[in-house]
Structure 1
Amino acid sequence: MRVLLVGNHWTQGPGGAETMLVLTADLLRAAGHEVVPFAVAEERTLPTPVRSALPPAAGAGARTRFGEAWAGVWSPSAYRALARVVDEVRPDVAHVHHVFERLTLSVLDALQGRGVPTVMTLHDYKPVCPNFRLFTEGAPCTRCLSGGYWQVVRHRCLEGSPWRSVAAAVDSYAARARGVYDRVDRFVAPSAFLRDRVIEGGLPADRVEVLPNPVVAGSPRPARAEPPAVLYASRLVAEKGVHTLLDAAARLPAGVRVRLAGSGRLERAVRARVVAEGLPVDVLGPLPPDRVAAELRAAAVAVLPALWWENCPMAVLEAAAQGVPVVAAAVGGVPDLVDDGTTGLLVPPGHAAALAGALTRLLSDPAEADRLGRAGWARVRSRHDPAAHVAAVQEVYRRVAR
């Protein structure tokens, strides 16, 4: 098959959507398919046969934040560029990943207009939540599942910005009025939790299926390095529970370091707090995939203290693939990945004392940590096998391309 793979960023990380896009391409090529990636044009864009046709990100060059936000609703340049690529490449199927705000939903119009069978992997709740995350004001939120997208303006859900919130609400109302998601033949939800929420929000149950993210698992890492370190490898944003982790860091045994691999809106505030409170935390900034893997191999424990309803976080899968035990908040799809007491430990979201207690338990008992890490490794080997994943993806393609 000739597969047109569509996503905002055709790059090596750092986000889960980018990781999945590149991994999907690798798996499909290994299975004998021709893959044509389509994304926004960036300096770090990986090679693709349609590199010269890639459009700029929606809003690039906008003079105001409102102009940038409004441009993220629908991109004429992305529509025209993808239409030209489809005419040239003539794909058998298109597999769309995260396209919001950069390529925009204009890509679905371009694909439908040329009759391309389309599969869409959902990386968050955007089809039913203008704010992507079903999260606002520090807590999970379901106000928009009934279609009342004006709530996003009332609560300024998009980073407190009235302009971005208005644009997001308009985008969601317009998508519903135009039946944009009717253009998708099949949705892939990486977790049952996400599937249930998007169906609750209006997507048709018979077009949404669960297919967990894959991960490449080699051999379990050797014994952890000393002194013991806790690794957080994700974005530094409020919904990820970063401040809960900082609260917990102050309660950990002497000599333990918490290492933060990532960047985001809270990076400056996190750095300031670490200095002001003298916390045992190293802020590493964004790291390339090979550096993250090296940090994982050296870590005693990986942690994901999320407050929002995570989908199928690659941070958990990548840690387990190295044999590193995971301590995570019991939110969203995470309990599908971490079997409490068997492959890792789960704690209540936002509970710093419980988080510190779970981390301390594994830091003080290397034998238990090793047992959980190896069990987690065995679990991802069996449930998130790349070969099984690509076989399932190919079956989805065959069904929609008939």
Structure 2
Amino acid sequence: MNTRLHILNVSHNHFVRGGSDRYFLSLGELLSKEGNLVVPFCAKSDKDQPSEWATYFPSGADIESPSVLDVLKYHYSPAAKYNLRKLLSGNRFDIAHLHIYYGKLTSSILPVLKDARIPIIHTSHDYKLICAVYSCSRGGSLCEACHGKEYWRAMVHKCNRGSYLRSAISMSESYVSRWLGSVDAIDRFIAVSQFSATRMAENGIDPRRISVVPNFIDIAQFTPQTETGRYFVFFGRVEQSKGVGTLIKAFMQMPDIPLMVIGEGNFLPEAQALAATSPNINFAGFKDGSELYSLVGQSVASILPSEWYENCPMAVLESFAMGRPVIATRIGGLPELISPGEDGDIIEPGDVDSLCTAVRTVWEQRRNPGMGRAARRKAEQQFSSEIHYRRIRDIYDSLRGT
């Protein structure tokens, strides 16, 4: 029987804004269900889910409309450092599991954890460790010019929203974060895809300190759908890097096949304008929880036409759990998740014609439940909470020497 652990679960948000937040909260629930004491440490927000530990949450920087003080807090947060010390002074922890802690909590928390001699694990949900703007993309194209250390290139190329100022801030934060221990202070990195692990190793992180553990879902919360779907669905952030422009252009050429776009993002107004003359394309806005899953469950398949390095998006796992296949692009960690012809299809990023071909193929086969069943089976066999807990627990125990 596993020893009960005291785990500090650290991330910037204690509410769901994106896939990494859902993972962070779901992991906390899973660890607690297995009998461990799990304490969240996040930045304070009026959107926070209730927590008895919320009194320890520090205020984070305003990243969207920053003041000069916010820029300083984005690099180094005295409040996060102070509150974490206060939390540790009255509680003991066996493991600190970090997610997206930079930006709001900042790397100021790393020396505090090291001083307390708590083993530190960091699940890398994005490409922060090798890219100053976390995305390995610049101006809509893929980019790895910084190589995990030459962050000055981000300012030269204006990688953050085309702004010298924002890019300079991203550059300086990356150097400060690295200096505070974003690489050296971490005992084990968890990559959620083999693709990410390879990129980390190629950019200077010792592969012996990297473990690959894909994301997971609680299978019991999803009822597989067997009815014939009525439309294709995209759900997630509506951004150009997600390939939404390519998606809209493809369905404009297929007026007989419906598409539902679920989500919000910077590219939404442009996407709506582009699709204005296509009645087969519907924008449903932001949805979450049962409302989201009901809409996904009524689809023929999900589409992830990403044009940036996706890692292990929850949208794929959630679609699989509902018995819906996925059409995705051959980029990042996506090809690791999908078996073409069995539970979905893989196309080239930015290729409207190949997307149209894949969509028509799946649409014509929509009354055959084979792909949906294969998708659900993969979710059960590879991405269940039970399998995930064993993988994570093995890493925890290896760092504790048990």
Q: TM-score scaled by structure 1? A: 0.93
Letter in 2 for 1:102: K
Cα deviation 1:256-313 (Å, max 9, x = unaligned): 32111111111222223332x3352222222122211111111111000000011011
Deviation of residue 357 (structure 1)? 1.5
Cα deviation 1:183-241 (Å, max 9, x = unaligned): 1111111100000001111111111110111112344212134xx21111110112111
Q: Distance in 1 between matches of 2:255 and 2:365?
A: 12
Q: Distance in 1 between matches of 2:372 and 2:85?
A: 47
- Verify: 1:201 aligned to 2:203, yes or no: yes
Deviation of residue 180 (structure 1)? 3.2
- Paired position in structure 2 for 1:6: 10
2:215 partner SS:
coil
Q: Distance in 2 between matches of 1:289 and 1:50?
A: 24
Q: Distance in 1 between matches of 2:391 and 2:58?
A: 31
- Verify: 1:142 aligned to 2:141, yes or no: no
Deviation of residue 59 (structure 1)? 3.5
- Paired position in structure 1 for 2:41: 38
Q: Distance in 2 between matches of 1:192 and 1:63?
A: 35
Q: TM-score scaled by structure 2? A: 0.93
Aligned residues: 395
Confirm or deny: 8 A CA contact 1:73 1:168 kept in the other structure. Answer: no
Q: Distance in 1 between matches of 2:329 and 2:99?
A: 26
Cα deviation 1:30-81 (Å, max 9, x = unaligned): 11001111111112212222111211122379764x6544432221111111
Q: Distance in 2 between matches of 1:48 and 1:248?
A: 44
- Verify: 1:344 aligned to 2:344, yes or no: yes
Confirm or deny: 8 A CA contact 1:319 1:325 kept in the other structure. Answer: yes
Correspondences of 1:217-296 after superposition (within 5 Å): 217=219, 218-225=222-229, 228-254=230-256, 256-275=257-276, 277-278=277-278, 280-296=280-296
- Which piece of structure 1 moves more, 171-180 or 204-213? 171-180
2:96 partner SS:
strand
- Verify: 1:120 aligned to 2:119, yes or no: no
- Paired position in structure 2 for 1:87: 89
- Paired position in structure 2 for 1:22: 25
- Tell which has more relative contact order, 1 or 2 (C-alpha 8 A, sep 6+): 1
Q: Distance in 2 between matches of 1:143 and 1:69?
A: 24
Confirm or deny: 8 A CA contact 1:330 1:346 kept in the other structure. Answer: yes
Correspondences of 1:47-196 after superposition (within 5 Å): 47-59=50-62, 64=67, 68-145=70-147, 147-196=149-198
Q: Distance in 2 between matches of 1:170 and 1:105?
A: 13
Confirm or deny: 8 A CA contact 2:43 2:60 kept in the other structure. Answer: yes
Deviation of residue 150 (structure 1)? 1.4
In structure 2, runs of 5+ residues without a counterpart are none
- Verify: 1:299 aligned to 2:302, yes or no: no
Confirm or deny: 8 A CA contact 2:60 2:73 kept in the other structure. Answer: no
2:39 partner SS:
strand
Q: Distance in 1 between matches of 2:43 and 2:382?
A: 32
Q: CA RMSD in A?
A: 1.8
Confirm or deny: 8 A CA contact 1:97 1:121 kept in the other structure. Answer: yes
Letter in 2 for 1:54: F
Letter in 1 for 2:7: V
Structure 1 residues 34 and 329: CA distance shift in structure 2, 3 A: same
- Verify: 1:374 aligned to 2:373, yes or no: yes
Confirm or deny: 8 A CA contact 2:255 2:280 kept in the other structure. Answer: no
